Amino acid sequence: MRLARLTERKEFLAAAAHGRRFRSSAFTAQVRDAEGETGRDGLRLGLTASRKVGGAVERNRIRRRLREAAKAALAAQSGRNCDIVVVARRECLTADFKSLVADLSVALDRARPAKPGFAKPGRRPAETKRAPAGSAPQRS
């Protein structure tokens, strides 16, 4: 079975901004339901492994392990219309493969909603007023 892939940055950002989260020791899964979108059928998978987790060899090994775990875990749920983004941690290299499969299968069902104070990508926090540079604080 071949899973459909997320390929565009905006799809990854949409899952991060509007999706639910599931945290495991080896990865974080962001699940965005795509019910009602036209032209969509089935589950799409996106994998992310930043340079923080290791060099190119480690990142590619992590992505290969997660892709195979996703094939095993999400095969039964391939008809579900949603996007899942898996953000890898370094623990993916040493984690037991069966636990990766189990965590991914649970991720779709138990992904928690995003926190209400979560800043959406592209938005800056409100600026606070500061005293002009070089001015001394006023004392009463």
Looking at the DSSP assignment, which residues form a beta bridge with residue 47?
86
Predicted pLDDT at 4: 86
Q: Does domain 4-109 correspond to CATH entry 3.30.230.10? A: yes
Alpha helices in 1-140, H assignment, sequence order: 9-18, 56-74, 97-110
- List the one residue out of 88, 93, 116 whose CA is nearest residue 104: 88
Q: pLDDT tens digits, residue range 17-62?
A: 988 899 999 999 998 887 767 667 778 899 999 999 999 999 999 9
Residue 129 has pLDDT above 70, yes or no: no
Listed by start position, the domains of the chain span 4-109
Predicted pLDDT at 136: 63
State pTM to two decimals. Answer: 0.74
Q: pLDDT tens digits, residue range 59-93?
A: 999 999 999 999 998 877 777 788 899 999 999 99
Q: Which amino acid is at 5?
A: R
Residue 13 has pLDDT above 70, yes or no: yes
More confident residue, 140 or 107: 107
- List the one residue out of 83, 50, 67 whose CA is nearest residue 2: 67
Mean pLDDT of the chain: 81
